[in-house]
């Protein structure tokens, strides 16, 4: 494709709606697509033929039931398009090549003391070139773009990070690549990944909290990820909490490392946190997260808070449990407390969220990070 073909092939919103429905719900026959979209069977037939011809959908085996006509489910074609995701972290950079179904096909990472610009750029350039070279020649023109998930204001992390003040990572890479480059905050893209690739049925309004070296968040209203005019929406790490300081001092891997007196493994290869230390940290973090969750609900009426992070699933479950427990003990007269659940993507959320940026631009109904349409029979939560 090059990217002009992506834009041309996906010019119609109805095609994007069909693809996003299948992305969320799995293979669907044309009759189900017609019911979900409100389009006529003939319109669905025409649109699906176009999507198959352009390589975005493929027909699965015919399903024959005891009653009614046989049906042919339509599924996303894995090589319909490819997306690159670059995640920049405090001690770890990751690059992933993601296929059209959301599966990570190639992945590489690099651990460093600090994410210095020259090192990150060299890692990205070499990785992108290697990944694209590993694709079949016919698929190389189907790379739709690169998304970058990075913390903002990296120079605030210390004097050694001053080089980021004058570095425009997106512009540096886009000048060298034949496809567009998108950049957003890493915690925000983690929320975007839950919207695009997550398997939960989520309401149209919720708060997403992501615990990494520092905590961050994403705010979803009317099914759309909201950034704010200065990209500060859901900058949760900066919120003041009753235990003293900001949320980042209580509910972060940095605060856990302070308790341990040593750094954690940045790639989660050996989560060797003693049980007592993790429990005490999770209880403190849960109190802070409950405060932030209740404060958010009092400002924006949200029914749900999703907690995820670069932690093992058992640790994530413990954070959710301590947050629920703290919420139950807090005064909340006049407002309904939110339901708190676990996210579904864990450590992969940020790099998948990065890849979701070009995917959403070309293939989501409105070209942005937004939840896929729900089926008519699907409940909210």
pLDDT in tens, 161-187: 888 998 999 999 999 999 999 999 999
Query: Taking the CA of residue 339 as centre, how many other CA atoms within 13 Å lie in the half-sphere pointing to its CB?
Result: 11
Q: What DSSP character marks residue 242?
A: T
pLDDT digits (tens, 9 = 90+) for 10-25: 568 899 999 999 998 8
What would the two tokens of residue 17 be? Answer: 């709606």
Among the candidates 37, 61, 76, a domain finishes at: 76
Average pLDDT of the residues in 40-65: 92
At residue 123 the predicted structure's pLDDT band, cuts being 50, 70 and 90, is very high
Please indicate, yes or no, if residue 155 is contained in any of the structural domains.
yes
Pair (278, 215) in one structural domain:
yes
Please indicate, yes or no, if residue 381 is contained in any of the structural domains.
no
Residue 260, Cβ density class (10 Å: 0-12 exposed, 13-18 middle, ≥19 buried): middle
Average pLDDT, the chain: 90
Please indicate, yes or no, if residue 207 is contained in any of the structural domains.
yes
Nearest one of 233, 213, 231 to 158, comparing CA atoms = 213
Residue 34, Cβ density class (10 Å: 0-12 exposed, 13-18 middle, ≥19 buried): middle
Please indicate, yes or no, if residue 368 is contained in any of the structural domains.
no
Identify the weakest region by mean pLDDT among 3-7, 193-197, 267-271, 370-374: 3-7
Please indicate, yes or no, if residue 339 is contained in any of the structural domains.
yes
Q: Are 239 and 246 in contact (CB under 8 A)?
A: yes
Pair (172, 204) in one structural domain:
no
The answer, yes or no, to whether residue 2 has pLDDT greater than 80, is no
Pair (156, 240) in one structural domain:
no
Pair (233, 298) in one structural domain:
yes
Q: What DSSP character marks residue 342?
A: E
Please indicate, yes or no, if residue 376 is contained in any of the structural domains.
no
The answer, yes or no, to whether residue 66 has pLDDT greater than 60, is no
Pair (327, 354) in one structural domain:
no
pLDDT digits (tens, 9 = 90+) for 329-363: 999 888 999 999 999 999 999 999 999 999 999 99
Pair (242, 287) in one structural domain:
yes
pLDDT of residue 1: 42
pLDDT of residue 279: 97
Helix (H) or strand (E) holding 147: strand 143-150
Give me the CATH number covering residue 168. Answer: 3.30.420.40
**Global pTM value:** 0.90
pLDDT digits (tens, 9 = 90+) for 26-36: 999 999 999 99
Nearest one of 376, 356, 378, 362 to 4, comparing CA atoms = 362
Pair (102, 160) in one structural domain:
yes
Please indicate, yes or no, if residue 61 is contained in any of the structural domains.
yes
Domain tally, the chain: 3
Nearest one of 196, 224, 7, 202 to 103, comparing CA atoms = 196
What would the two tokens of residue 373 be? Answer: 């349409």
Average pLDDT of the residues in 116-126: 95
What would the two tokens of residue 235 be? Answer: 């900058």
The answer, yes or no, to whether residue 78 has pLDDT greater than 70, is yes
pLDDT digits (tens, 9 = 90+) for 231-255: 888 989 999 999 779 999 999 999 9
> Can you give the residue range of the structural domain that contains 30?
3-76
pLDDT of residue 379: 43
pLDDT digits (tens, 9 = 90+) for 285-331: 999 999 999 999 999 999 999 999 999 999 999 999 999 999 999 99
The answer, yes or no, to whether residue 8 has pLDDT greater than 70, is no
Average pLDDT of the residues in 115-126: 95
Pair (17, 113) in one structural domain:
no
Whether the CA torsion 4, 78, 374, 217 is positive or negative: it is negative
Pair (62, 87) in one structural domain:
no
Q: What DSSP character marks residue 57?
A: E
Please indicate, yes or no, if residue 323 is contained in any of the structural domains.
yes
pLDDT of residue 380: 40
Among the candidates 22, 41, 76, a domain finishes at: 76
What would the two tokens of residue 315 be? Answer: 């640790």
At residue 65 the predicted structure's pLDDT band, cuts being 50, 70 and 90, is low
User: In the chain, what percentage of residues exceed pLDDT 70?
Assistant: 92
Report the C-alpha gap between 210 and 216 in whole angstroms.
5
Pair (59, 88) in one structural domain:
no
């Amino acid at each position: 494709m090059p990217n002009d073909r992506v834009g041309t092939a996906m010019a119609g919103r109805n095609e994007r709606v069909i693809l996003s429905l299948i992305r969320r719900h799995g293979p669907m026959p044309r009759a189900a697509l017609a019911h979900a979209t409100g389009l006529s069977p003939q319109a669905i037939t025409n649109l699906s033929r176009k999507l198959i011809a352009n390589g975005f959908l493929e027909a699965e085996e015919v399903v024959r039931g005891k009653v009614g006509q046989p049906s042919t489910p339509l599924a996303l074609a894995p090589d319909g398009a490819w997306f690159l995701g670059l995640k920049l972290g405090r001690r770890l950079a990751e690059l992933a090549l993601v296929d059209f179904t959301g599966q990570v096909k190639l992945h590489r990472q690099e651990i460093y003391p600090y994410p210095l610009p020259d090192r990150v750029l060299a890692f990205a350039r070499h990785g992108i070139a290697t990944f694209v070279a590993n694709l079949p020649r016919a698929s190389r023109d189907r790379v739709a773009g690169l998304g970058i998930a990075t913390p903002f204001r990296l120079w605030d992390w210390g004097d050694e990070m001053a080089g980021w003040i004058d570095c425009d990572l997106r512009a540096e890479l886009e000048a060298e690549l034949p496809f567009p480059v998108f950049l957003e905050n890493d915690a925000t893209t983690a929320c975007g990944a839950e919207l695009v690739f997550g398997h939960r049925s989520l309401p149209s309004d919720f708060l997403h909290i992501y615990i990494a070296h520092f905590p961050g968040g994403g705010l979803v209203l009317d099914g759309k990820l909201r950034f704010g005019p200065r990209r500060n929406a859901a900058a949760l790490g900066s919120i003041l909490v009753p235990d003293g300081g900001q949320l980042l001092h209580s509910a972060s891997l940095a605060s856990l490392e302070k308790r341990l007196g040593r750094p954690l493994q940045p790639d989660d290869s050996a989560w060797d946190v003693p049980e007592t230390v993790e429990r005490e940290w999770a209880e403190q973090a849960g109190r802070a997260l409950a405060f932030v969750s209740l404060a958010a609900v009092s400002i924006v009426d949200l029914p749900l808070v999703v907690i995820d992070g670069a932690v093992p699933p058992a640790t994530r479950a413990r954070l959710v449990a301590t947050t629920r427990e703290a919420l139950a003990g807090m005064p909340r007269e006049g407002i309904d407390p939110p339901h708190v659940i676990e996210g579904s993507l864990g450590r992969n959320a940020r790099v998948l969220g990065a890849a979701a940026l070009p995917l959403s631009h070309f293939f989501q109904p409105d070209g942005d990070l937004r939840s896929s349409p729900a089926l008519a029979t699907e409940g909210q939560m």
